Amino acid sequence: MARYELKRIFLDRGVAGNPVTERILSKAGEIPVTMLNSVQEATRRLGSFEDPIGEGKHSLLITRQKGEFVKPCPGTHHRICCRYQIINLITNCPIDCSYCILQGYLNNPAITIYVNIDELFAQVEEKLSSNPSRIFRLGTGELGDSLAFDEMTHFSTTMVPFFSDKENGIFELKTKTDEVSNLLDLDHGGKTVVSWSVNPEKVVKEEELSASTLAERLEAARKCQQKGYPIGLHFDPLIHYPEWKRDYRGVIEKVFERIDGKGIIWVSLGGFRFPPYLKPIIRNRFPASKILCAELFPGNDGKFRYLKSIRVEMYREIVRRLRDYEPSLFIYLCMESQEVWEKVFGWSPKDNEALDALFAQRIRSFYAKSQLANT
């Protein structure tokens, strides 16, 4: 927790006394707590700062989720989506990545923690029972880092056991931290995937401020794999710069120095992309960043990306390097078109449902092999 400096906690009056609230406050030490009557009050207070986004990364808002906890990933138009289910348990993040879409995507800049977790469990049960034949992949790492504040919230100590016996639910914790101490003694039943976003140390240092180093992430992954957790890797966003090929090759070498490739359940690849509104935010908040110096062009979904030829070259190179170490890896592209899939792999899922079916096939095969290895 020392990596993330908290300056203030905003407490929604309606969740005072909630057990999760009490646990968070018990670990808050001398951090000042302000009682509020509405979430909008936190937004207004942070709006008075010169950099509300940056100040929000030092602010916790404890409240309840009044809407749906579980929502399908919105994906993007004209691109293949894997039908991932997002669990909105924490929104926003103390890690300050220059490229982070959350800087302009969320209305409230505070790191918001929803404490009505019993309602979350009920919604997940309803989702899983709605289609027992489908394997649902659900995770908390889309709108915030899954583990950055786990030392305070202990969400993992209830979420991981909850999913341990789910027949058709796979839970993913996605992080750029090494905060895994709560995970190591949990009964996970193999149903929680612990995933890391990975990038070269140059990118981590220059563009992922306050994140754990690549070495720290991979050491945390090694610890989790030793405890039987399936491991996921997300090469996303891939950043193009003159030394990219050398540096990503180094990342892959380091990955397989620490992790057994047969225990990696999936790997995603995604090029740097952003909606137009993010460009001025990046320029204003990260004037030293070079990620906007590349040639980036709007696609038919409105997001800026590297040229298709550059993305395909990067994907092919990384797929080849990964499979040199572990030929059986399940590798997929995030938010890419059928055309790009075909150029990279020589084939493409025909639609979102087809990619979801491939995930289900991979999951069944992965667990079947794991069971054989343990007999």
The pLDDT score that the predictor gives to residue 375 is 35
Three-state secondary-structure class, residue 234:
strand
| pTM assigned to the model | 0.95
Residue boundaries of the structural domains of the chain: 64-373
Cβ-based neighbour number of residue 186 at 10 Å: 17
64-373: what fold? pyruvate-formate lyase- activating enzyme (3.80.30)
Each of the 375 residues of the chain gets a pLDDT tens digit; together they read: 446 889 999 999 999 999 999 999 999 999 999 999 999 999 999 999 999 999 999 999 999 999 999 999 988 777 999 999 999 999 999 999 999 999 988 889 999 999 999 999 999 999 999 999 999 999 999 999 999 999 999 999 999 999 999 999 999 999 999 999 999 999 999 999 999 999 999 999 999 999 999 999 999 999 999 999 999 999 999 999 999 999 999 999 999 999 999 999 999 999 999 999 999 999 999 999 999 999 999 988 889 999 999 999 999 999 999 999 999 999 999 999 999 999 999 999 999 999 999 999 999 999 987 654 553
Return the structure tokens found at 99.
Answer: 């490229």
CA distance 331 to 314: 14
Helical pair 338-345 and 308-325, crossing angle rounded to 10 deg: 40
Q: String of b and e for 5-41 (b: at least 16 CB within 10 Å)?
A: ebebbbbbebbeebebbeebbeebeeeeeeebeebee
The pLDDT score that the predictor gives to residue 75 is 80
Alpha helices in the chain (DSSP H): 19-26, 39-46, 52-56, 102-105, 117-130, 150-153, 156-163, 201-207, 214-226, 244-258, 278-285, 308-325, 338-345, 352-373
Tokens 């909008």 correspond to 40
CA distance 191 to 230: 8
